[in-house]
Structure 1
């Protein structure tokens, strides 16, 4: 009987160690996730975002997440309006799926497409656009 108790105790200790290791590994993996990794599976799907708008007031945007860069995303709103949003002005994204993309696998080209590159492209193409700065101008 004593041997059975010993083996039962060892088995419980093993299971507790496994559960603790799994929880620790999950926390470590979640720490490596970036916002871009959470947003990549949402590209092409509707999104609702809260962003820092003019006069530093929060503003809600609705639309389809159509493109994504390292520090920006493009939201296609209903009515053919597109909004280029810097990641640093993003306050919240509602209804994100539980899944996320693998960190660091956005590709070498996507890693270079930062906000400066996109803004230079808009200027080079002389695209008509409206800017809303956080100070309201």
Structure 2
């Protein structure tokens, strides 16, 4: 009889210890998942919803998240579309939890892909940089820069200075 009581007591202690560890394990897993979440993951979760971003030049953009990838975000407000490089975003609100993992296509669509598409369409754009604003048409897109044809000729813009590219304004 004592053996049965002993094993029952051990079993109860084990179950109590396991129950105590479950919340800790859940919390540790949640923290680990949050630590791997990137800002674009949270943008993708806001597709079709309002978002406001403050950019590194101090300006704000807002609109519906119409598209988002690892390196960029597109906000739509009426006819205006703002293509915003990830590197230009300082803060965003409101953001909720992360979206599901990006698809292979979403991971592969870099800033250059979107800029090349704009260049092929010959759309008039307004390019905001940390050095000023330029109006014209994108002519050529390299791996880290783009050429914009404006009224004075061609200006080459390094992506590192890019704040946003807007069309429909």
Other-structure match for 1:69:
69
* Secondary structure of the structure 2 residue equivalent to 1:130: strand
Determine the C-alpha separation between the residues in 1 that align with 2:131 and 2:13: 64
Q: How far does residue 19 in structure 1 lie from its aligned partner after superposition?
A: 1.9
2:104 paired residue number? 108
User: What TM-score do the two structures reach when normalised by structure 2?
Assistant: 0.65
Give yes or no for the alignment of 1:17 onto 2:21: yes
Query: Where do 5+ consecutive residues of structure 2 fail to align?
Result: 134-169
When structure 1 is superposed on structure 2, of 34-43 and 8-17 the one drifting more is 8-17
In structure 2, C-alpha distance between the alignment counterparts of 1:69 and 1:2, rounded to whole Å:
59
Deviation at 1:65, TM superposition (A): 0.9
Given that 2:44 and 2:69 are in contact with CA atoms closer than 8 Å, whether structure 1 keeps it comes out as: no
Q: What is the TM-score with the length of structure 1 in the denominator?
A: 0.79
Paired residue secondary structure (1:91): strand
Which has the larger strand fraction? Answer: 2
2:71–2:111: 8 Å Cα contact kept in structure 1?
yes
The 1:89–1:18 alpha-carbon spacing in structure 2 relative to 1, beyond 3 Å, is same
Q: In 1, distance between residues paired with 2:105 and 2:92?
A: 25
Distance 1:4 1:59 in 2: 66
Match of 2:42 among 15, 26, 38: 38
Residue pairs, 1:1-137, within 5 angstroms: 9-53=13-57, 58-78=58-78, 80-98=79-97, 100-103=98-101, 106-137=102-133
Query: Structure with the greater relative contact order (CA < 8 A, sep ≥ 6): 1 or 2?
Result: 1
In the TM superposition, structure 1's runs of 4+ consecutive aligned residues that sit over 3 Å from their partners are 1-12
Higher helix share: 1
* 5+ long unaligned stretches in structure 1: none
